[in-house]
Amino acid sequence: MALKIDLDLCTGCGACVAVCPFCALTQRAEDGKVEVNEACTACGACVEVCPVGALAIEVAERQVSAEEQAAYRGLWVFAEQRAGRIQEVAFELLGEGRRLADKLGVELSAVLLGHQIQAGASALFEHGADKVYVVDHPALAAYTAEPYSEAMSALIKKYKPEIVLAGATSIGRGFIARVAIQVSAGLTADCTELDVDVEKRLLLQTRPAFGGNIMACIICPDHRPQMATVRPKVFKQPTPVAGRTGELIVEPLTLKDPVVKVLEVVNAMENEVNVAGAEFIVTGGRGLGSPENFKLLAELAEALGGAAIGASRAAVDAGWISSFHQVGQTGKTVRPKIYIACGVSGQIQHLVGMNSSDTIIAINKDPDAPIFGVADIGIVGDLFQVILELIKALKR
Ligand SMILES: Cc1cc2nc3c(=O)[nH]c(=O)nc-3n(C[C@H](O)[C@H](O)[C@H](O)COP(=O)(O)OP(=O)(O)OC[C@H]3O[C@@H](n4cnc5c(N)ncnc54)[C@H](O)[C@@H]3O)c2cc1C
């Protein structure tokens, strides 16, 4: 993308110069007409204010022709691993990927990047992969975006998959957008539903838009591959088939020396129950009233045998608890067996992150709170009284 200036139309009014956040526009001394420098990011802020339409953002389209598209076949899942452990989101994507690949009549492949991680391939086969591409390289030992995107882009350019899926985790989000740019593909982040149009070979990517008020179905008809990220817990894990195998392709790649070097990996969540993978979650909202009252939730969590603590964005924004705990559209998507919402009103942005929970229990003093619309069990009352009674009952 680049900013294009029509000097015949430009009147030298300077409106664009005033709004440019990057000081990328200057006016010529001789006639005041505008010039752009290398600081321009093509953000488009100037285009909106130009009163005479002299500015435009030009998109350099690299569309893939129908013949070229036919060369792209197969569905790939990025198999995220941390310290050699394949992350659950990879299995969840393989489950959904299997369904979509079967509909399209193509192979399902997993891509495993790291160092000394080849052993992880067997679990990927058992969860449905027909092929596993492995890139084993010291530069991939600890995750950084640069070598990961370099390796993934090289594989995509060589093998041409038509669909690439990755988890919308900090790692998946961190490098897959770079890959999309490097291979000139489209990318839809945070999908909540996927399907395929078999006839047109399109990935139908559904995700919340406009603050969660509508569900948009996004397609990418002109570019390949079609790429999407999906949050953990959106799809269920398939049942693994013990002993199932497939084709292992170990790809020897030469990667550039990365600019960013990882000196140490610190697990800040070591002593915390991870809300994203928890089977039981007790969530506190603004109704808790103060950060100290999260201690009461911690007691309830303990009485439940070690539940994770979740939080609404209101509680996080108030600084009562860290954003690691936030559930919802801009937090984690969770799918626990039991979700107990305490003093959470149930706005749509919260609900999209937890409404797939098996059983939802809501405690709220307002009988009309929207949370009761998704709750399996609703308790109308003061949360402080109800939680104390629950703890007593659980201890009994
Ligand atoms: C783009 C965008 C993204 C967002 N992402 C998220 C997100 O990821 N997660 C999220 O949670 N929100 C998100 N929000 C914010 C969301 O819209 C709500 O503002 C937020 O969820 C409200 O949090 P809450 O339910 O804790 O607070 P409130 O809406 O203020 O509700 C507090 C509830 O507590 C009840 N209550 C008060 N005292 C008691 C008591 N003593 N006993 C029992 N009940 C009591 C009240 O009746 C009320 O229902 C997002 C908003 C936007 C615009």
CATH number at residue 94: 3.40.50.620
Nearest to 318 by CA among 346, 290, 287, 354: 290
Q: What is the pLDDT of residue 266?
A: 83
Residue 194, beta-bridge partner list: 205
Domain's final residue, options 42, 58, 74: 58
Please give the Cα distance from 323 to 173 (Å, whole number): 17
Domain that holds residue 80: 66-250
Q: What is the pLDDT of residue 271?
A: 63
Say whether both 184 and 300 belong to one domain.
no
CATH number at residue 32: 3.30.70.20
Q: What is the pLDDT of residue 66?
A: 79
Q: What is the pLDDT of residue 285?
A: 98
Residue 289 CA, closest ligand 1 atom number: 38
Residue 30, beta-bridge partner list: none
Domain's final residue, options 200, 215, 250: 250
Domain's final residue, options 13, 30, 58: 58
Decide: residue 267, CB within 10 A, 0-12 exposed, 13-18 middle, 19+ buried. exposed
CATH number at residue 376: 3.40.50.1220
Say whether both 190 and 47 belong to one domain.
no
| Atom 37 in ligand 1: residue holding the nearest Cα | 287
Over residues 390-394, the mean pLDDT reads: 96
Query: What are 84-123's pLDDT values in tens digits?
Result: 999 999 999 999 999 999 999 999 999 999 999 999 999 9
Residue 331 CA, closest ligand 1 atom number: 8
Query: What are 259-310's pLDDT values in tens digits?
Result: 899 998 887 766 667 898 899 999 999 999 999 999 999 999 999 998 999 9
Q: What is the pLDDT of residue 60?
A: 61
pTM more than 0.85: no
How many angstroms is it from 349 CA to the middle of ligand 1?
Answer: 9
| Atom 4 in ligand 1: residue holding the nearest Cα | 349
Is 255 among the domain residues?
A: no
In which band, very low, low, confident or very high, does the pLDDT at 58 lie, cut at 50, 70 and 90?
Answer: confident
Nearest to 356 by CA among 383, 326, 377, 376: 376
Q: H helices of the chain, where?
A: 15-19, 45-49, 66-70, 88-104, 121-126, 145-159, 170-182, 294-303, 313-317, 348-354, 383-395
Higher pLDDT, 165 or 273: 165
Is 262 among the domain residues?
A: no
How many angstroms is it from 309 CA to the middle of ligand 1?
Answer: 15
Say whether both 157 and 201 belong to one domain.
yes
Decide: residue 96, CB within 10 A, 0-12 exposed, 13-18 middle, 19+ buried. buried
Q: Which residues line ligand 1 (CB under 6 A)?
A: 211, 285-287, 312-315, 326-331, 343-345, 347, 349-350, 353, 363-366, 369, 382-384
How many angstroms is it from 12 CA to the middle of ligand 1?
Answer: 49
Q: Are 59 and 90 in contact (CB under 8 A)?
A: no
Query: What are 304-322's pLDDT values in tens digits?
Result: 998 999 999 999 999 999 9
Q: Are 340 and 283 in contact (CB under 8 A)?
A: yes
Q: What is the pLDDT of residue 392?
A: 96
Is 294 among the domain residues?
A: yes
Two tokens, residue 265: 């990996």
Is 85 among the domain residues?
A: yes
Say whether both 164 and 294 belong to one domain.
no
Tell me how many domains the chain contains: 3
Angle between helices 170-182 and 145-159 (to 10 degrees): 50
Which residue is listed with tokens 């339409």? 53
DSSP notation for 156-206: HHHH--SEEEEE-SHHHHHHHHHHHHHTT-EEEEEESEEEEETTTTEEEEE
Is 261 among the domain residues?
A: no
Higher pLDDT, 309 or 57: 309
Whether 337 has a pLDDT exceeding 90, the answer reads yes
Q: Are 365 and 381 in contact (CB under 8 A)?
A: yes
Say whether both 132 and 240 belong to one domain.
yes
Choosing from 290, 344, 351, 385 the residue with most ligand 1 atoms within 8 A of its CB, the one to mutate for a pocket test is 344
Query: What are 360-376's pLDDT values in tens digits?
Result: 999 999 999 999 999 99
Q: Which amino acid is at 100?
A: L
Say whether both 87 and 214 belong to one domain.
yes
Going by DSSP bridges, is the β-strand pair 108-114/75-78 parallel, antiparallel, or unpaired? parallel
Q: What is the mean pLDDT of the chain?
A: 94
CA 279 from chain center: how many Å? 21
Over residues 132-145, the mean pLDDT reads: 96
